[in-house]
Amino acid sequence: MPSINRFCPPSWGIPPGHWVPHCYTGWNGQRDRPLPEPCIRKIYRDWKTRMLSGNTMKTSYHTGHRLTAAIYLSIMISAIGGIIFGYDTGIIGGAVTFIGQQFAISSVMQGVIVSASLLGGMLGALAAGPLADRYGRRGILCLSGLFFAAGALASALTSDVSILIGARILLGSGVGASSVLIPVYIAELAPARIRGALVTSYQLLITVGILLAYGVNSLAEPLAEWRIPLTIAALFGLMLAVGVLFVAESPRWLIAMRREAAARRALQRLRGVEEVGHELRDIAALDASEREVVGWRELLAGPVRPMLIIGMLIAFFSNACGINLVIYFAPQILQLSGFDSAAAWLATIGLGVVNVLFTVVGMLLVDRLGRRPLLLAGAVGLTLSMLVLAVLFSVPPFPYSHWLAFFSLVFYIVMYAVSPGILGFLIISEISPLRARAKVTSLSIFIIFATNLVIALVSLPMLAELGAAVTFWIFTAICAGFVVFSAFVPETKGKSLEEVERYFRERYDQKQRTLRAGRAL
């Protein structure tokens, strides 16, 4: 990395040993490579700012952007929560048939067993935010892993339907709590430049968990075995609970708790450098501007309200757009379109593979294209897919119409995987204010589980009573609303969490000044 003196005039008085960050120079070993005048002045302004703030260390700016071992460890451990979410979603679909046979229960009661974890997820999501704001991200994540492990193990061992339902609720509360905290935790740890890819790794692990569950179910099905797959789920919960004890606490939460020394140590560990004063001061300055704790009532007032509304609507549309209808009931949809049973199940596995692959594609695109363009493109794609399916089921079958339905579902999965599938958790974690981040995320994830619960309960009756055509027209209308909403979502690409929050506060202050000026007239 070149010295700043190589590019700035001697008259500027910069002493030797201060380095030019790679992000300004693109320096690749060419020692005399010239720089444009704006870059030189930008370097000088940054150096001057550091001198005035008392930071005289010979610092390399770029180190704050690299992935350190501490960040890798934190993300790997916390992302186990994504596998937990996906594994439970996929495993219960295969297990519930054998549960129904062993316990001799009706299809309605089987639906209750499946949906019990979603009810637990709603409760866990609501409780996790306030608890994490008070006791920290790490401790509540550990508790969520223990809840999931205990619920999964009790589900596997019980011979009583009531206990099974209660265990599923306990298990779901662990999933709900981890779904709230993991995106927030990763977002608060990650450098802004790569935060999108790191937070969306949670969604990738969800899809991996679903595929893993499909594999376990395929091995257990010939044996009519359901207890072993549920026991395996408990192991993932224990991995999360134990692993989280070895990762760093969120420095942003530590600042909010006035534990500056601990926050500095955590940030130094995460960034891999001794000098973290600039980032620490940025976090502390924002925290000082909103020292009071934001309660539930305050979420509906002031600059926090638009953040809350965006988070809630992202949560609603990313699940009400029909993804659970497609994921849960793809075999039935394909059979209605003209496929036989065996081909429909094979095609469903293909949809799962597509989901994983294009989630990776979305992770590569999110920090390149930005959040809003990707969200808008995805909403348009989902609408077109649902529209084609609605038309196909509204007209008599024609040659290859079933293949057109299949490729419409494939296109739907692709657009969901690269857009709301990864952006839902990411945007929710980014637009929430520091002192209410866990609460806003908590309420948003509650809406995700509530929407999932409703869709899971009504999708099959809608297909049976209203027919596939009407069902897809309804979801087409919802997706069209998603398109309109996406156009108003602010861009957060490349911005620190503090910059995102300042954007909302500045917009609110500007609106208030305009209102006061209007009243004065």
Per-residue confidence (pLDDT) for residue 163, from 0 to 100: 93
pLDDT of 388 over the 80 cut: yes
CB 247 within 8 A of CB 77: yes
How far apart (Å, rounded) are the C-alpha atoms in residues 126 and 115? 17
CB 510 within 8 A of CB 303: no
Q: Which residues contact 397 (CB under 8 A, 6 or more apart)?
A: 337, 338
CB 477 within 8 A of CB 174: no
pLDDT of 506 over the 70 cut: yes
398, with CB counted inside 10 A (0-12, 13-18, 19+), is exposed
Per-residue confidence (pLDDT) for residue 104, from 0 to 100: 82
Per-residue confidence (pLDDT) for residue 414, from 0 to 100: 93
DSSP state of 293: P
Q: Indicate where the chain has its CATH 1.20.1250.20 domain(s).
A: 67-247, 302-520
In 158-259, alpha helices (H): 161-189, 195-220, 227-243, 251-256
Per-residue confidence (pLDDT) for residue 22, from 0 to 100: 39
Beta strands in 383-487 (DSSP E): none
Residue pLDDT, tens place only, 2-14: 444 444 555 444 4
Per-residue confidence (pLDDT) for residue 416, from 0 to 100: 93
Identify the top-confidence range among 1-15, 60-74, 201-215.
Answer: 201-215
Per-residue confidence (pLDDT) for residue 498, from 0 to 100: 66
Per-residue confidence (pLDDT) for residue 39, from 0 to 100: 52
Q: For residues 118 and 298, which has the higher predicted lDDT (pLDDT)?
A: 118
Residue of 334, 160, 319, 141 lying closest to 244 (CA atoms): 141
Per-residue confidence (pLDDT) for residue 116, from 0 to 100: 86
Per-residue confidence (pLDDT) for residue 301, from 0 to 100: 67
Task: State mean pLDDT over 96-119.
Answer: 80
Per-residue confidence (pLDDT) for residue 205, from 0 to 100: 85
pLDDT of 61 over the 50 cut: no
Domain 302-520: which CATH number of 1.20.1250.20, 3.40.640.10, 3.50.50.60, 1.10.3720.10: 1.20.1250.20
Per-residue confidence (pLDDT) for residue 1, from 0 to 100: 38
Q: For residues 503 and 299, which has the higher predicted lDDT (pLDDT)?
A: 503
Identify the top-confidence range among 149-163, 248-262, 414-428, 451-465.
Answer: 149-163
Please spell the DSSP secondary structure of 118-185, one letter per residue.
HHHHHHHHHHHHHHHHHH-HHHHHHHHHHHHHHHHHHHHH---HHHHHHHHHHHHHHHHHHHHHHHHH
Task: State mean pLDDT over 82-98.
Answer: 80
Q: For residues 61 and 177, which has the higher predicted lDDT (pLDDT)?
A: 177
CB 144 within 8 A of CB 86: no
DSSP state of 465: I
Rounding to the nearest 10 degrees, give the CA dihedral for residues 87, 327, 418, 441: -60
Per-residue confidence (pLDDT) for residue 26, from 0 to 100: 38
Per-residue confidence (pLDDT) for residue 345, from 0 to 100: 65
Per-residue confidence (pLDDT) for residue 340, from 0 to 100: 78
pLDDT of 326 over the 50 cut: yes
Per-residue confidence (pLDDT) for residue 290, from 0 to 100: 54
In 259-397, alpha helices (H): 260-271, 277-289, 304-320, 323-337, 341-369, 371-394
In 431-520, alpha helices (H): 437-461, 468-486, 497-520
How far apart (Å, rounded) are the C-alpha atoms in residues 65 and 84? 29
Residue of 194, 444, 211 lying closest to 317 (CA atoms): 444
Identify the top-confidence range among 117-131, 200-214, 331-345, 404-418.
Answer: 404-418
DSSP state of 197: H
Q: For residues 81 and 166, which has the higher predicted lDDT (pLDDT)?
A: 166
Residue of 454, 457, 462 lying closest to 108 (CA atoms): 457
Rounding to the nearest 10 degrees, give the CA dihedral for residues 282, 51, 26, 196: -10
Residue of 374, 389, 455 lying closest to 421 (CA atoms): 374
Residue of 443, 485, 444, 478 lying closest to 458 (CA atoms): 478
The CA distances from residue 178 to 186, 205, 337, 425, 445, in Å, are 12, 13, 37, 12, 10
Per-residue confidence (pLDDT) for residue 18, from 0 to 100: 45
Residue pLDDT, tens place only, 133-149: 788 888 898 999 999 99
Quote the percentage of the chain above a pLDDT of 70.
Answer: 76
DSSP state of 11: G
Task: State mean pLDDT over 444-455.
Answer: 83
Quote the percentage of the chain above a pLDDT of 90.
Answer: 15
Per-residue confidence (pLDDT) for residue 45, from 0 to 100: 54
Residue 17: pLDDT band with limits 50, 70, 90? very low
Q: Which residues contact 10 (CB under 8 A, 6 or more apart)?
A: none
If one counts every other C-beta atom within 10 angstroms of the C-beta of residue 409, the result is 23
Residue 34: pLDDT band with limits 50, 70, 90? very low
Sign of the CA dihedral with 253 first, then 259, 261, and 262 last: negative
Per-residue confidence (pLDDT) for residue 173, from 0 to 100: 93
pLDDT of 256 over the 80 cut: no
- Amino acid making up residue 300: L
Per-residue confidence (pLDDT) for residue 30, from 0 to 100: 40
- Specify the range with the lowest mean pLDDT, choosing from 46-55, 116-125, 156-165, 259-268: 46-55
Per-residue confidence (pLDDT) for residue 145, from 0 to 100: 92
Domain 67-247: which CATH number of 1.10.10.10, 1.10.3720.10, 1.20.1250.20, 3.40.50.970: 1.20.1250.20
CB 291 within 8 A of CB 301: no
Per-residue confidence (pLDDT) for residue 67, from 0 to 100: 64
Average confidence score pLDDT of the chain: 76
Per-residue confidence (pLDDT) for residue 4, from 0 to 100: 47
pTM above 0.75?
no
Residue 28 tokens read as 């690749």
**Exposure string for 37-56, b = 16+ CB within 10 A, e = fewer:** eeebeebbebbeebeeeeee
Per-residue confidence (pLDDT) for residue 289, from 0 to 100: 56
Q: C-alpha angle with apex 457: 452 to 461, nearest 5 degrees?
A: 135
How far apart (Å, rounded) are the C-alpha atoms in residues 360 and 315? 21
Q: For residues 213 and 234, which has the higher predicted lDDT (pLDDT)?
A: 234
Residue 197: pLDDT band with limits 50, 70, 90? low
